[in-house]
Amino acid sequence: MSRFGRRELLSGAALAGAAALGCGPGKDSYRIDKPSVPGGRGRAGEERWVLSTCALCDAGCGIKVRVVEGRAVKIEGNPEHPVNRGGLCSRGQAALQALYHPERVRSPLRRGGERGEGKWKPASWDEAIGEIVAKLGKLRAAGHPERLVLIDGDTASFTYDLWTHFLLAFGSPNHIGMGSARAAGVKLATLYTQGRYGLPAHDWIRGRLVLAMGTDLLESSDQAMQFLAAASVDRPRVICVSPRRPGCRFDEWIPIAPGGYGALALSLAHVLVRDGLVDRDFLRDLVSGFSAWRDQAGVEQPGFEALIRAAYAPEQTQEVTGIAAATVDRLAHALAQQRRVVVASDGGATAASNGLATGMAIAALNVLLGNSEGGGITGVQEFAVPHWEAPAVDAVAAAGTAAPRIDGAGTAACPLGRSRVQAVPAAITNSEPYPVEALFLLGTDALATLPGRKAWHAALNQVPLLVRVSSWLDESAQQADLVLPESLPLETLDVVRCAPPAGEWVVGLRQPVVAPLQDTRQAGDVIIAIAAGLGGSVGRSLPWKSYSDALAKSLPAGSVADMKEKGGRWDEPKTDLPARLSRKFEICSQAIAARMAGAADSAKASRAWPCKGLPAWEPPRFSGDALRFPLHLVPYRPVQFVENGGRFLSWLSELPLVSGNPWLLRAEINPADAARLGVAEGDQVLVQSSLGSCPAIAQVSDGVRVGAVAMALGKDGVADLVVPDEDRWSGVLAWQGTRVCVKKIS
């Protein structure tokens, strides 16, 4: 009985004390009083776990959400899901913060003042859609449906396909993805060597050595979880090649000069071939273009072997890569010895003026290492596509779709690219090839996340109807005429393509975890409503009542209901890897040759792809005078980077991965450079490029190569420094191609 009545004593004395001080007992500061839930809270204490798919990046991890009395309170990884096997990164978990974020747009908003003034009038969905339908109807009536442009960041979900479907029926070719600003360099390389657009699927589980080119594996969001899930079984050795020391766990870091990845890959190939470390049988059977070959005309063409033997000895490339020849030799032998190697890369390595060639060189290195025999590439991901009936295309739509894309992808300006979002501002401003009348901006805050803020600003202001579909009043939304708040992925039904490891096929399901908290709609429902409003052939092409109806029709009957149980659909993981390459790997891409042949004659003359479809690597091009701007800017995507609305999530912004105030923007700089510039740790500095400048806090660290300045994307101002140069063939945005200078602010 020794501790009897402690509580009473405490509270009694507290009451007495409070009374003596003339104030009553305070509110119970431990009680959580939650606001009411739309649709009722259910039974008191009712708790359930709902399976869904994460939407914070394109990887498509399976999640399960704990819902207590109608409110989501925790997100965890789905242990059954083949992509992440139960784990979940910080981004995915922060989705909860987005769901209940106070700054979410609560209903459609119509501009109430000048552009960018920040005055809004709430509108009903009918009004907003009516306005859009009126505008689009006029476009079609005038025979210019191509003047509708759609910039869309989310390619994983079936909503993207619905937009494509809609645009086909409507008649615009301008469905512009964000690929060129992301990992298109790698995806196009896969397309031109293996025939399918997408990231290569690596066998992470059996890979014993990962050579990460320009990525620290965490930043490469599509592959991070596969790598981590594989590492949970047995962690492979990780060698990172990048100008900045990676934030993730690694075994070796090889600092490389920006833009030098392709040369390194070819040099490694050179050593492998020179020292007889390649499997010639495998290359003969499954790879075309390795040795000299005869084309259809019977002319002998030089093979890949001749190319690398001639120009890519490590001694020849060490100047451009900044990596000693001996290191390359050692690395190549290590790769060859290990055999089960994954050469991973994402947008980091290929975001340069030589992006496509770099991507192809890396793909070639992967194949040279015999990766298809297990441990590396097993092919490209097989993607699910919705099975909808082809849209009804009328004459107007046919004519419109035939018009050139405004971003110039596939034209002489960008013969090998699929999209080129950075070209949109100039096209709008110059009305080239035709004026843009309506612009839909989805899934990306272009103004804040893409380079060239001024150009984007001018262009967006010029569009007569700018519609931003977003949950946030972000920078792009501030310029819009209409802001349509989309329901967040935790509130809606959707089907997404996940990025599983090799040998698997995964479609994820998103299902409403909670009832929509605000007056928001799924983007798919908006498309269907617009199509219905337009009527005619467009309306007939999208005959569904709602997006969930469309989803039900997109997959075999009953699929969606089944998927609710598991959170998606996937095959049982194949244990009998290696799955062979789906087709011959073309080191010497015939697809490129064909495309170049198809391009206009003038283009052929002026911009012939060198080396006939081999990875023709060129030294990178940098924007800015080397004397005035002596340092290379290395923008990177930190772990917490979320393309669309990431800065609204304070959990991510406060991740303790940097010391000191996590909200500040840091410029990481090598001690040698810092000493030369007179900059000390913690100093306020101004980073300047030929395009803009941005203040930051100097972080002096030997984790950055001499001559480079590393800055994290996602914070205001970094994207403004980048000069939007690009790969002249593929249109890949050269994030890594800007020179800057750093000055101390006194």
Length of the chain, in residues: 746
Is the Cβ of residue 35 or residue 678 nearer to another protein in the bound state? Answer: 35
Q: Which of residues 368-407 bind another protein (CB under 8 A)?
A: none
Minimum Å distance from CB 12 to another protein? 4
Q: Which is nearer to another protein, 37 or 458 (CB)?
A: 37
CA distance 351 to 731: 10
d(CA 199, CA 499) in angstroms, rounded, equals: 8
β-pair type (585-586, 148-152): unpaired
Cβ proximity to another protein: between 76 and 373 the closer is 76
Q: Which is nearer to another protein, 463 or 698 (CB)?
A: 698
Distance CA 422, CA 57 (A): 21
CB of 575 or CB of 659, closer to another protein: 659
Q: Is 124 in the site for another protein (CB under 8 A)?
A: no
Tell me if 102 contacts another protein by CB under 8 A. Answer: yes
Candidate residues 232, 337, 430, 431; the one interacting with another protein per rule CB under 8 A: 232
- Looking at residues 64 to 83 of the shown chain, list those that interact with another protein (rule: CB under 8 A): 68-69, 71-77
- Site size for another protein, by CB under 8 A? 91
Whole-angstrom CA distances from 371 to 25, 174, 355 are 70, 37, 22
> Which of 135, 237, 333, 584 is in the footprint of another protein by CB under 8 A?
237
CA distances, 251 to each of 340, 357, 523, 706 (Å): 17, 27, 43, 21
Query: Which member of 54, 96, 139, 742 binds another protein (CB under 8 A)?
Result: 96
Euclidean distance between CA atoms 328 and 315, whole angstroms:
9
> Which token pair is 483?
């802001």
Q: Nearest-CA neighbor of 561 among 487, 493, 492, 488?
A: 493
Q: Is 100 in the site for another protein (CB under 8 A)?
A: yes
Alpha-carbon Rg for the chain, nearest whole angstrom, is 27
Binding to another protein (CB under 8 A): which residues in 614-653?
639-640, 650-653
Task: Kindly state whether residue 90 participates in binding another protein, applying the rule CB under 8 A.
Answer: yes
CA distance 137 to 640: 41
Provide, rounded to whole angstroms, the least separation between the CB of residue 654 and another protein. 5
Which 8-state DSSP code applies to residue 236? P
Is residue 251 involved in binding another protein (CB under 8 A)?
Answer: yes
Helical H segments across 395-440, by residue range: 395-402, 424-430
Instruction: Tell me how far, at minimum, the Cβ of 104 lies from another protein, in Å.
Output: 9
Site for another protein in 651-680 (CB under 8 A): 651-657, 659-664
Torsional sign, CA 558, 560, 561, 567: positive
CB of 55 to another protein, least distance (A): 16
Identify the residue among 60, 62, 82, 87 touching another protein (CB under 8 A).
87
**H, E, C per residue of 7-48:** HHHHHHHHHHHHHHCCCCCCCCCCCCCCCCCCCCCCCCCCEE
Crossing angle, helix 314-321 and helix 261-274, to 10 degrees?
160
Decide whether 449 or 699 has the Cβ nearer to another protein.
Answer: 699
55/266 with CB nearer another protein? 55
Which positions from 412 through 431 interact with another protein, judged by CB under 8 A?
none
55, 129, 229, 679: residue in contact with another protein (rule CB under 8 A): 229
Restricted to residues 6-65, the positions that interact with another protein (CB under 8 A) are: 6-15, 17-18, 28-35, 37, 40, 42-47
Residues 6+ apart with CB under 8 A from 22: none
231 part of the interface to another protein, by CB under 8 A: yes
Of the residues 211, 218, 424, 523, which one makes contact with another protein according to CB under 8 A? 218
Q: Residue ranges of the alpha helices (H) in 614-695?
A: 650-653, 671-677
Minimum distance between the CB of residue 2 and another protein, rounded to whole angstroms?
Answer: 5
Q: Least separation, in Å, of the C-beta of 721 and another protein?
A: 22
Taking CB under 8 A as the criterion, the residue among 106, 196, 235, 595 binding another protein is 235
